[in-house]
Every structure is written in C-alpha cells, then in structure tokens.
C-alpha cells in the first residue's frame, strides 16, 4: 500500500518554530525529488519547498530564509523545519513526489491527510 503520512503540525505563536515530518510506506524516496506543499482555506495548493535526490533544495520566495527542507533516506523520511512563522503560514501541509520531467505541481502519489499548522498573531 502506497501511503504518505505527514506529522508535526500544531498551534504556535507568530515567530515560533515547528518541524514537520513526511514518512512513506510502500514508496521509496531514494533517488526521487520530494516536495512540501500547503493549502490554506479558500486557496489552491502551493509548493513551498523541494529537495532533489542529490540534496539540492528549492524554496518558494515566501518561505526562503525561514524554512529548511532535509531528507534522511535511510529512514525514508523528509522534514520541513519552519522558523520565524507568520500568520500567513497557516495551512494544511502535505508532501509528495513530483513526476519526473514535470513541474512541482504534477505529483506521483495520492495525497495524504496532511498536518495542520496554525500560527496565531
């Protein structure tokens, strides 16, 4: 069974930090790019951070300098460290694997449940 499970979200004050985890079963992250996405109420899903199989990182302008994506392939897990959180970061956060040769928004697997991040101001 192919499954993506996000965890680590919660309620935090503006300026605080959270670390999200993306664990996979029936899927290997090795040699694949993995990305974090978020969806706020009434808005479309957007990519916020990606990491290639070789460890190269890409960030949306809105989070660059505040978020860090990393991977631990032996644990088949990808992380998102979020610092200096703002109220506009409030969203449900998801992870997925972009299709080879596509852009960040065409993904290979069904979306998981996501993890809720709420930032109070």
Question: Which residue ranges of the chain lie beneath pLDDT 50?
Answer: none
Q: What is the pLDDT of residue 103?
A: 85
DSSP-assigned states of every residue in 24-59 = EES---TTS-EEEEEE-TTS--EEEEEE-TT--EEE
Predicted confidence (pLDDT) per residue in 83-113, tens digit = 999 999 999 999 999 998 878 999 999 999 9
Closest CA to 87 of 43, 117, 51, 52: 117
Q: What is the pLDDT of residue 12?
A: 98
């Amino acid at each position: 069974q192919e499954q993506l499970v996000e965890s680590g979200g919660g309620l935090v004050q503006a300026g605080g930090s959270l670390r999200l985890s993306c664990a996979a079963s029936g899927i290997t992250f090795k040699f694949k790019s993995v990305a974090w996405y978020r969806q706020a109420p009434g808005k479309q899903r957007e990519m916020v951070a990606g990491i290639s199989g070789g460890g190269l990182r890409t960030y949306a302008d809105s989070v660059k300098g505040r978020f860090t994506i990393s991977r631990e392939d032996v644990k088949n897990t990808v992380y998102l460290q979020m610092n200096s959180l703002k109220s506009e970061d409030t969203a449900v956060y998801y992870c997925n694997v972009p299709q080879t040769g596509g852009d960040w928004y065409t993904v290979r697997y069904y979306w998981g449940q996501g993890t809720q991040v709420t930032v109070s101001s």
